[in-house]
Amino acid sequence: MKSLKYLVILFGIAVIFGSCKNKEDKSFNIFSINDDIELGKNLEAEIASNPAEYPVMPRNSANAVSYGHLDRIVNEILESGQVFYKDEFEWNTYLIQDDNVLNAFAAPGGYIYVYTGLIKYLDSEDDFAGVMGHEIAHADRRHSTDQLTKAYGLSVMLQLALGDNPGLLSEVAASLLTLSFSRGAETEADEYSVIYLCETVYAANGAAGFFQKLIDTGASGGTPEFLSTHPNPDNRVGDINDKATELNCSTASSTGAMWTAFQNSLP
C-alpha cells in the first residue's frame, strides 16, 4: 500500500509540475513556481546574513540613484513582453559592492545580484543590459531548479511531496551559491538575452559586447568568476550576433550619459 501511495503521489507531482511550466519549456523540473520563489527568498536571507562575503548595498537614500538606474534597466527588459514569469516571480535586484569582481548571478524566483566591478568594467548600457537579460533568462527559464532536479532527483521529489523534511528547501537553497549551470543553459540564456532585448531600446546583441571586451582585454581565460563554467567567449560573440540577425533585431547602440551617470553614482 505504501508503494502504491508513492506511485499516486508521483503521478500527481508529474501533473502538477507539468502544468507549472510554460509551453516553451520542455525540461523536467520537480520544483513548483512557488518553490522557485521560496528558494530565492532563502538564498536572499543567506546572502544578507553574510555581509563580509556579500557586501550588498542597502536600498536606502544614499544608494537611491544607483538602484534607480539598475531598476530602470531591469524593468525595461521585464516589460519586453518576452519574460514568461514576469508577474509570478519577485524580480528583486541587488548591488554588491566589490569592484574586483566581474560578475552577476541570478537565483530562482527572480533574485538578481550584480557586482559593482561589472558595472564599472563595461563601456555601454547595451552591454550591461545584455548581461542582465542573460541573468533574467537564468531565472525565467528556471535553470537553477532544473539543475537541482538533476542533482537531487526522486528522493527530493518524494520528500517535498510528503512533507517528510520541512527544512529541505532551506538546505537546497544553500547549495545554490555553488551551483554551476550547464553549457546548454548558458547558451539558452544568451539566446533569450537577445530575444528580450530585441523588444527594448537596447541593442539586441548587447551581451556580445561584454564577451568581446573580455577577449580584447585578455580577461577571457577564466579569470572573471562570471566565466568559470561558461562556454568560450569567442563562440558566444558570434552566436549572439547570429541570433540578433536571425530575429532581425536592431543592434544600434543606446549608449549615453545615463550609463556614465550610473557608473558615477556607485561608491
Q: One-letter amino acid identity for 257?
A: A
Q: One-letter amino acid identity for 234?
A: D
| Whether 135 is catalytic | yes
Compute the half-sphere exposure of residue 71: CA atoms within 13 Å on the CB side of its CA: 9
Locate 246 and state its grid cell. Answer: 536571425
Q: What is the pLDDT of residue 160?
A: 62
Asked if residues 216 and 230 have their Cβ atoms less than 8 Å apart, the reply is no
Q: What is the pLDDT of residue 195?
A: 98
Our CA angle for 211, 214, 219, nearest 5°, is: 140
Q: What is the pLDDT of residue 35?
A: 85
Among 263, 43, 254, which Cα is nearest to 145's?
A: 43
Contacts of 127 (CB under 8 A, 6+ apart): 206, 207, 209, 210, 213
Taking only the tens of pLDDT, the chain with its 267 residues reads 444 334 333 333 333 344 445 646 656 787 889 989 998 999 999 999 999 999 999 999 999 999 999 999 999 999 999 999 999 999 999 999 999 999 999 999 999 999 999 999 999 999 999 999 999 999 999 999 888 878 777 676 667 656 666 677 677 777 887 788 888 899 999 999 999 999 999 999 999 999 999 888 876 544 444 454 456 777 899 999 999 999 999 999 876 799 999 999 999
Q: What is the pLDDT of residue 177?
A: 79
* CA–CA distance, 106 with 146 (Å, rounded to integer): 14
Q: One-letter amino acid identity for 115?
A: Y
Name the residue with cell 544607483: 66
* Global pTM value: 0.85
Q: Which of 44, 76, 90, 135 is catalytic?
A: 135
Q: What is the pLDDT of residue 96?
A: 98
Number of residues in the chain: 267
Q: What is the pLDDT of residue 18?
A: 41
* CA–CA distance, 239 with 116 (Å, rounded to integer): 27
Q: One-letter amino acid identity for 239?
A: D
DSSP string across 38-101: HHHHHHHHHHHT-TTT--BPPSSGGGHHHHHHHHHHHHHHHTTS--TTTTTS--EEEEE--TT-
